[in-house]
Amino acid sequence: MQHLLALTVLTTARGWRASRRRTIRRATRLPQEPAELHEWLQPFAGADEFRAARLADLAKDASDLEITFLGTASCVPSATRGVSCCALRYDGSTYLFDAGEATQVQAQRTTLVKPGKVEAIFVTHLHGDHTFGLPGLLCLCGQDRDKDDEPIEIFGPEGLRAYVRASLQLTQSRVAAPHVIHELQDVPHRPPPGFRPPRGPLVSLRAAGEAHAAFGEVFEGRSIPREADGGWTCDTRSKTLSVRAAPMAHTVPCVGFVVTEADRPGALDVDLVKPILERNIPALKAKGVREPRRLFRVIKEMAPEEVFTFPDGSAIKRGDVVGPDKRGRVLCFCGDTADASALLPLLPPRGADVVVHEATNCRVEPFDNDVSEEEVERSSVSHGHSTPNLAGRFAERAGAESLILNHFSPRYKGDASPAALAVMAKIEDAARKTFGGDVVAAWDLLSIPVAAKDDAAAAAAAADAARLADAADSAAAFRRGEMSAPPPRRKAPRQPAPRSAPARTPAPRSPAPRSSAAPPAPRLKKKPGASKVR
Ligand SMILES: [Zn+2]
Ligand SMILES: [Zn+2]
């Protein structure tokens, strides 16, 4: 009996090792025939130039809202990709989505993400490739902050507080930045079709960690209840961004996030207002208005029908001098998922601008000639993940203009070698089969500005932005009838400026656009798949 058991164990181990070898071989083997290899790689022969051209194409527009990918791999970090972390920079603050292992290293590889500016971290789920970097990141952020600074707000499923507490306490990490952890209550476990639970006990996500003040935690964390529409609201300190979460189909409780920017006032016709203002400056100062130019902002923020009357009797109706409101941008960060459809009810009727969706697995010929697309999809879904095809289907349903793929299997290298670029081009093409918008397979440190629809018009009025943007307090005081404006703040507002980082304005959806810089992707051949499933 013992022999039989030993034989079974040995056979199973051998089988696992053989399957692992096959997987690795598939992941690393290039086409063997010289002609086929040439056909594959030729479009990407000037790899560095290819990526540079792609970046230049994406960098056409600057924006005050920008997504930077710090890690784009699933499972484990590799030499060419870090694991999940995505930074959203907006209005001078940084918001992070997940913090996989070595996020603090990745953050130091770019000047686009400043640890001292991290305002909130949204955690989709507790898998290590999304959380192993969190304690270290908090320590890095702590180096740029004082103990009495506003705490970093961390949102995520139950268990997150215990995990962070235990990690920081057991490692005696007293340098962690002040932080407060808000847990989303009762995130349901929505196992995907074909999911096989792991053997052994499932750990309770409600295991309590002892509270201890020496490790940066501010004990004001909320337990956020689920709302009637099935989502949670993550109240941040931002006045203009709202963040909501919904449950994703994954192997553990997991959420995705919808980030919605509030609509903003349109552009002020400065040429129209300026002459009237300037001839009234002496009279305004005589009335106690120390900085009359701040009235630009006051007029901009009035109600559309509201009228402002200057001392000389000139009356300006807000609706006559301010363009239509600029609609806020909507972004989806889907986390790990085989089905993100629970995010759809959280979207406004016009849909999302950008969807960031995982595409862990893909059938890439010729590596995967022995499996069919259906088999790859079934296997991916059973592990709680998606293919580019599934990501495209979700982005289409979300009415998105752009789809950014991330969370790739470690099989898919993220460097700029011709082979890696060729594979990623195929992955993008797979998503284009189901999605008519723009598609990018992200690589580490890729940064994509999301331009407002009418930023061009806004740029014309931005000439006065430095003087105007800091005026909110005095504007409010003025409107309350307090004629004396408070002194200006020390810092000038941040101006969006073109950078060398890649940028993009979501492209028109139909017909399916392709990057003009992108050479044709390698041809996808239809071949019947074999029976093996990865
Ligand atoms: Zn993951
Ligand atoms: Zn996961």
pLDDT at residue 59, rounded to an integer: 63
Least confident window among 5-9, 135-139, 294-298, 364-368: 5-9
The 10s digit of each residue's pLDDT in 460-478 is: 334 333 323 333 343 343 3
Which of 1-10, 249-258, 484-493 has the least mean pLDDT? 484-493
Higher local confidence (pLDDT), 336 or 211: 336
Evaluate whether the domain defined by 42-193+205-264+327-449 bears CATH number 3.40.718.10.
no
State in Å: Cα 334 to ligand 2 middle: 11
Which is nearest to 99 in space by CA: 76, 77, 122, 73? 122
- Residue 40's pLDDT is what? 74
Q: Check residue 30 and give its pLDDT.
A: 52
Q: Of the bound ligands, which one is closest to the alpha carbon of residue 100?
A: 1
Banded model confidence at residue 264, pLDDT cuts 50, 70, 90: confident
Ligand 2 centre distance from Cα of residue 384 (Å): 7
Ligand 2 centre and the CA of 255: distance in Å?
10
Domain extents for the chain? 42-193+205-264+327-449, 270-322+454-479
Tokens found for residue 358? 């995982």
486 pLDDT band (50/70/90 cuts)?
A: very low
Span 226-250, average pLDDT: 96
Report how far residue 72's alpha carbon sits from residue 130's, in angstroms, rounded to the nearest whole number.
11
pLDDT at residue 160 greater than cutoff 70: yes
- Residue 366 CA to residue 37 CA, distance in Å, equals 10
Please determine, for residue 377, whether its predicted confidence score (pLDDT) is greater than 60: yes
**What pLDDT sits at residue 148?**
86
By 3-state DSSP, what share of the chain in percent is helix, strand and coil, each rounded to 5?
A: 35, 20, 50
SS3 345: helix
| pLDDT at res. 472 | 38
* 325-337 average pLDDT score: 95
pLDDT of residue 451: 86
- Between 183 and 368, where is the model more confident? 183
pLDDT at 448: 92
220 CA distance to ligand 1 middle (Å)? 29
Report how far Cα 107 is from the mean position of its chain's Cα atoms: 14
How far, in Å, is the centroid of ligand 2 from the Cα of 369? 27
Q: 125 alpha carbon to ligand 2 midpoint, in Å?
A: 7
Q: In angstroms, what is the span from residue 496 Cα to ligand 1's centroid?
A: 32
Residues 278-301 have pLDDT tens digits of 999 999 999 888 889 889 988 988
As a whole number, mean pLDDT of residues 438-465 equals: 70
Q: How far is the CA of 279 from the centre of ligand 2 (A)?
A: 63
Report helix, strand or coil for 96: strand
Please tell me the number of the ligand nearest to residue 384's CA. Answer: 2
Closest-lying ligand to the alpha carbon of 254? 2
Q: How far apart are alpha carbons 254 and 250 in whole angstroms?
A: 6
Asked whether the predicted pLDDT for residue 390 surpasses 50, the reply is: yes
251 Cα: distance to centroid of ligand 2 (angstroms): 7
71 vs 32, residue with greater confidence: 71
Q: How far is the CA of 162 from the centre of ligand 1 (A)?
A: 20
Mean pLDDT of 364-375: 90
Q: Tell me the CA–centroid distance for residue 359 and ligand 2, in Å.
A: 12
Ligand nearest to the CA of 101: 1
Closest ligand to the CA of 75: 1
CA of 118 to the centre of ligand 1 (A): 22
pLDDT confidence of residue 106 = 96
Ligand 1 centroid to Cα of residue 433, in Å, is 24
Report the separation in Å between the CA atom of 249 and the middle of ligand 1, taken as the mean of its atom positions. 12
H helices present in 178-292, as ranges: 270-286
Closest ligand (CA of 129)? 1
Ligand 1 centroid–CA 279 distance in Å is 61
Higher pLDDT pick, 230 / 509 = 230
CB 292 within 8 A of CB 284: yes
Q: Which residues contact 134 (CB under 8 A, 6 or more apart)?
A: 99, 103, 121, 123, 154, 163, 164, 167
pLDDT tens, position by position, 39-67: 777 777 777 787 888 777 776 677 889 99
- pTM for this prediction: 0.76
Q: Distance between CA atoms of 155 and 123, rounded to whole angstroms?
A: 6
Expressed in angstroms and rounded, the spacing between residue 336 Cα and the centre of ligand 1 is: 5
**Mean pLDDT of the region 350-372:** 93
Residue 183, pLDDT above cutoff 70: yes
Q: Which of 63-72, 296-305, 522-531 has the lowest mean pLDDT?
A: 522-531
Distance, in Å, from the CA atom of 338 to the CA atom of 194, rounded to the nearest integer, reads 11
Q: Which numbered ligand comes closest to the C-alpha of 338?
A: 2
User: What distance in angstroms lies between residue 70's CA and the mean position of ligand 1's atoms?
Assistant: 14
Higher pLDDT pick, 334 / 479:
334
pLDDT of residue 420 exceeding 80, the answer is yes
Q: What is the mean pLDDT of the chain?
A: 81
Instruction: Kindly give the distance from the C-alpha atom of residue 465 to the centroid of ligand 1, in angstroms, as a whole number.
Output: 41
- The alpha carbon of 301 and the centre of ligand 2 are apart by a number of angstroms equal to 44
* C-alpha 386 to ligand 2 mean position (Å): 11
> Cα of 386 to ligand 1 centre, how many Å?
11
- Highest-confidence range of 294-298, 318-322, 390-394, 515-519, by mean pLDDT? 390-394
| CA 498 to ligand 2 centroid distance, Å | 35
Q: For residue 534, what pLDDT is reported?
A: 31
Q: What is the predicted pLDDT for the residue at 490?
A: 32
248 Cα to the center of ligand 1, angstroms: 12
pLDDT tens by residue, 19-36: 555 554 454 455 555 676
Residue 102 has pLDDT above 50, yes or no: yes
**Lowest-confidence pick of 114-118, 204-208, 503-507:** 503-507
Most confident of 51-65, 74-88, 293-307, 448-462: 74-88
Peptide bond preceding 193 in cis form (omega within 30 of 0) = no
Supply φ then ψ for residue 320, to 5 degrees. -85, -20
List strand residue ranges (DSSP E) for 45-172, in order: 65-71, 85-90, 93-97, 118-122, 152-157
**Stretch among 163-167, 379-383, 488-492 having the lowest mean pLDDT:** 488-492
Percent of the chain with pLDDT over 90: 58
Span from the CA of 445 to the centroid of ligand 1 (angstroms): 18
Comparison of pLDDT for 318 and 479, the residue scoring more: 318
Closest CA to 357 of 410, 402, 399: 402
Q: Which ligand is nearest to the Cα of residue 248, counting in written order?
A: 2
> Would you list the DSSP string of 44-70?
GSSHHHHHHHHHHHHTT---SEEEEEE
Ligand nearest, relative to CA of residue 195: 2
